[in-house]
Amino acid sequence: MTSAERIVLSSDHSAIQLRQAIAGHIAARGWVVVDIGPATPESTDYPTHGEAAAKLVASGDCRFGIILCGTGQGIMMAANKVKGIRCGVCSDTFSARMIRRHNDANMLSIGGRVVGEGLALEIVDAFLGAEFEGGRHEKRVEMIKAMEG
């Protein structure tokens, strides 16, 4: 994976600090961070932020997206409603690596109330450091795409 590619980051109010930590971490590794907020901690609705980030990935404006809410689940569900998005919630590095290798995931979701900052940064590194393997996995990803209509 080459760096200097754009990654969109978004979250709801529950994971602003962790999102900012991830932004600094990946920027230091050369990724271009497109942080679409929110910047302030007022309660907000995760579907709005998941959709906005997903649209930037689906349009090709950003290569990847990293999104966060309390569990990572709700914002992932919203992102996966956008055509072309394959987003998984990860709380471990193995899953983060495998959703790139086998599922060609283009978005990663993390639960800000589930994992601490240290593990979250390792999950991000595992996701961004892995490549889609293609081969037998290609057909299965194509099957997912075919369901999108």
Instruction: For residue 5, count other CB atoms closer than 10 A to its CB.
Output: 13
Q: Are residues 138 and 147 in contact, defined by beta-carbon separation less than 8 angstroms?
A: no
CB of 40 to ligand RB5, least distance (A): 15
Q: Which helix (H) or strand (E) holds 24?
A: helix 16-28
Whichever of 116 and 149 has its CB closer to ligand RB5, that residue is 116
Nearest to 104 by CA among 86, 79, 122: 86
Examine the residue annotation and report whether 90 is marked as an active-site residue of this protein. Answer: no
- Separation between Cα atoms, residue 108 and residue 41, nearest integer Å: 22
Of these, 74, 96, 126, 128, which contacts ligand RB5 (CB under 6 A)? 74
Count of residues that interact with ligand RB5, criterion CB under 6 A: 8
Closest residue to ligand RB5, Cβ-based?
Answer: 74
**Is there a catalytic annotation at residue 87?**
no
| DSSP state, residue 14 | G
Q: Which of 8, 12, 52, 90 binds ligand RB5 (CB under 6 A)?
A: 12
Binding to ligand RB5 by residue 47, rule CB under 6 A?
A: no
State in angstroms the smallest separation of the CB of 140 from ligand RB5.
Answer: 27
